[in-house]
Amino acid sequence: MNISSLPAALLFLALFVAGGVRVAAQSEWELTSPPVVNGNPVGVMEIVGTPSGTLFLRTNDQGLLYRSLNMGETWEPAANGIEPSDMAGASVYPSPSGALFLFSPLRATLYHSANNGGSWLPVLQLAGDDAELRHLAFTSQGGIYVSANDTTLRYSADDGKTWSLLAAPANGAFVSVTTNGDLVAAATSDFGKAVVWRSEGGTGAWQQVFTGGANSTTARLFLNPQTNILFIGVTNVNNGTFASADIFCSVDFGVSWQIVNTGIATDNRRIISHIVTPDGNLHILIGTGVIYTLPFMRAEWEQRTPTNQIGTPQQLASIGHTWFVIDNSGKLFRKNLTPTAVEMEPGSKRLPLDLW
């Protein structure tokens, strides 16, 4: 095999076949003080960390948005320009362009901020009482793909100033979308099956590249940007109720897939939140409230991050190697997981796929 001919992501993997890196972290979870409204701490519903080091927090009842410039030590309001009703279910997304976007799915509105959340302006609003935004994804150059419940895909190359309407290929709306910059992958749940489609830039012909089993739905589709590996979480339903969940990955952006359930000792592998840390490792929070790590060179999950001090974790976020977790009572916890010791493990053959 000529290693020099490998794509960058696969070369990155190949260089680590000889050994895996295990990181030892030396800190405990710390309860972080949230903003205070009328003398009472707010309940935290959503937390997002950005590459610039800013932390955004959405409350669970007042529908307020705050930001912290010092890793959660202090907070300031950050909803200037946002309609209060648009905060329901909203999330902040950082773009590679440096801009921020606030995604209001139920109000079908996308906001843009050019000043790190100091103020916001709407750049996309869908008409109709039933309109909903479903998901969004960015290219490495800052292009934006937005899916909606009207079986369309929208694209903007200029931070939302103008939009192109792209046709979706399937009978159902895209519930999740991601991109590696050249190709777009989008997921639907057609006729009771989880389905993934792939297109060149969203304008080329759409190809069906993944089909789940009967009575399955797409729980989550995302790309690990450090390794360019595509993941899909599939939920399996029996008589209308949750039965189990499976995780699949693809190193060739959907051409081939491998199941990656090993190491998770439960059928409830439903991914409810995930982060990717600077070392390229993928960390997921599953439906049982347990955090698992998939080292980038392995296909076996490891339970490296205990959460004994926390209630039931509901969401993960990170800035660098500092992690944040929201628990089921709306409390916010922080932990410094900066590497303090590195242990080289014996080589492993358990790659995400049989690449060779």
Taking only the tens place, the pLDDT of each residue in 245-290 is: 999 999 999 999 999 999 998 889 999 999 999 888 999 999 899 9
Sheet containing 152-156: order of strands: 133-138, 144-148, 152-156, 164-167
DSSP letter, residue 42: P
What residue has token string 């290219």?
A: 139
> What does the pLDDT average to over 287-308?
88
DSSP letter, residue 86: G
User: CA-to-CA distance for 109 and 87, rounded, in angstroms?
Assistant: 10
Strand partners for 275: 283
pLDDT reported for residue 88? 87
Q: Do the Cβ atoms of 71 and 52 come closer than 8 Å? A: no
Task: Please give the share of the chain, as a percent, with pLDDT higher than 70.
Answer: 85
Q: Do the Cβ atoms of 60 and 43 come closer than 8 Å? A: yes
Band of residue 190 on the pLDDT scale cut at 50, 70, 90: low
Cα dihedral value 62, 65, 71, 74, nearest 10: -70
User: CA-to-CA distance for 126 and 239, rounded, in angstroms?
Assistant: 34
Residues in the chain, total: 356
pTM of the predicted structure, to 2 decimals: 0.86
